Amino acid sequence: MLRSLILFVFALYSVGATAHQKKYWVIFKDKGQANTAASLDRPLYSPYVSALKKEQLPIICQSKWLNAVSTIMEPQDSARLLSYPFIAQIRPLNQHLQLMCSHIASPPGLEKDQYAFNQMHGQAFADKGLNGTGVRIGVIDAGYIDANVKPSLKTIFEHQHVMATKDFISPWKADLYQSPETFQDWHGTEVLECIGGIFEKGKQQKGFAPNANYYLARTDHGNQEYRGEEDYWVQALEWLDSMNVRLVNSSLGYAKGFDDPAENYRPADMDGQTSMISKVAEIATTKKGMYLVVSAGNEGDDPTWRVVSAPADAEHVLSVGATEYAYGNKFEYSAQGPQHLDYIKPDIACYAPSGTSFSAPIITGLVACMLQYKPQLTNEQITAIIQKSSNLHQFPNNFIGYGVPNCRRILDMMNDQGSLFPNKLLVAEEKTITLPIQHEEALIFQKKDERNVVSQSIKKVKRKGLTLKRMQGISRTTVVTPDEVYEVKWAAL
């Protein structure tokens, strides 16, 4: 009965005191006149916060990096607040997020536990004894119900690898692993499993980093399919930074689905600069030295959206899409990179049949192994090595980025050895070209320019090779096989 009352009170609080009240960021101009050039980590100027409290405005979250607070108020209150000389801007806070899984109602099946690990030749890391030892990993998610009793996470909990937890949604809860509030509370448990899960049968690894140290943050109350709190995400990232956590996984994203459609993001807003959450992700990666691995999103087959969600659009996060296993083609649901960007998104992709929620954490574990092997790697070096190890390293596209990473090549590159996956550029002077491919089938990306894909397909290869015909509106065609990649540049006719 008490728990039901708490949930009822929370539901009232989360929507505000009236139906008209909404959540906003109130952004300050400085951190006090004497602190105009203050560092990111300097606390907010307390007189500014006190002034808002005197206005009877509840302070929900405070962000040092944004120099802002979130609060709930009437829309018409913003004009009055902007008269304060220390307030720079007031922005509506989009309060809805998407868990990056394609089967929201129940956890994904585990019949293909090791596919992603095998797809990227993860055994090469395991043979080197790489398992994330000593690396701090932050996880920002919706809930971790039963994580401490799940057999696949036995190694993490028996060896006390969870170093800290924080529930930003229900801070009064004494136990992050029990007392479920919504059907989505399992989501973070499955994400954690993808980072460091080990299955008893044959000691199979699903995740790369069972020996890493984990810091778990809960920032979403998944009472609705698209319910979330962007300000809690920001606060969690700052908390992880204060705990000296460098590597962070987030399988959450912000796109659309808001109660008020006027507050929806637009695909054009996915530019790495418009959303506050993407701005914070850029601060974390470029100014705080954190490494963020983020799910690309699951609207790839939604004709009204299709592109990645924030903060996967941020330039310096590693955004991860999802591929099928056999050929590495993009799962239809996996979000693609916006064509208006001047950089590649998603960055890479790997196998994940149930959503990009579960491709990103696989890569997070991979990064943890890289940091275990060479802790001195910079963010730029980590990203460059992962991209160069992937099969489309020379011809990335907005469907799967640089392609699927390869752990053997990553190890070689960290040791200044090895070679890249064979990529060949061919110029087709005629309307057709035949490639000397020996495999039975090949993955085809038809592109309108160097990186933007119009369509993908699996094509049968005849005995004499693969013959391609130039298609209307196509300037390049990428052909992917297990051994090499061909990039066909169609000459002007």
4 labelled catalytic: no
First-last CA distance in the chain: 75
Give yes or no: 141 in active site: yes
Note the helical H segments in 222-275.
Answer: 230-242
**Of residues 187, 221, 316, 393, which has the active-site annotation?**
187
Phi, psi angle pair for 10, to nearest 5°: -60, -40
Q: Do residues 73 and 17 touch, judged by C-beta distance below 8 A?
A: no
Structure tokens at 81: 């607040």
Query: What is the helix (H) or strand (E) element at residue 188, kind and residue range?
Result: helix 187-196
Bridge-based pairing of strands 198-199 and 247-250 is unpaired
Q: Which helix (H) or strand (E) holds 373?
A: helix 360-373
Q: Which of 63, 251, 334, 357 is catalytic?
A: 357
272 in helix, strand or coil?
coil
- The CA distance from 80 to 15, in Å, is 22
Q: Distance between CA atoms of 458 and 456, rounded to whole angstroms?
A: 7
Sort strands 136-141 and 247-250 into parallel, antiparallel or unpaired: parallel
Tokens read off for 15:
């929507």
Q: Which of 96, 102, 113, 141 is catalytic?
A: 141
**In Å, what is the CA distance from 64 to each residue of 30, 40, 253?**
11, 6, 22
Helix/strand/coil for 59? strand
Cα separation, 374 vs 298, whole angstroms: 33
Closest CA to 341 of 324, 319, 357: 319
- Assign residue 237 a region (left: φ > 0; alpha: ψ between -120 and 50; beta: otherwise): alpha
- DSSP letter for 412, please: H
Contact yes or no for 306/299 (Cβ under 8 A): yes
- 187 given a catalytic annotation: yes
CA–CA gap between residue 42 and residue 30 (Å, rounded): 11
Question: Which runs of E-coded beta strand occur in 74-148?
Answer: 87-92, 98-99, 136-141
Go through the chain and tell me how many residues it has: 493
Q: Which amino acid is at 334?
A: S
How far CA 478 is from CA of 139, 194, 481, in Å, comes to: 35, 30, 10
| Tokens standing for residue 99 | 């868990």
What residues are annotated to the active site? 141, 187, 357
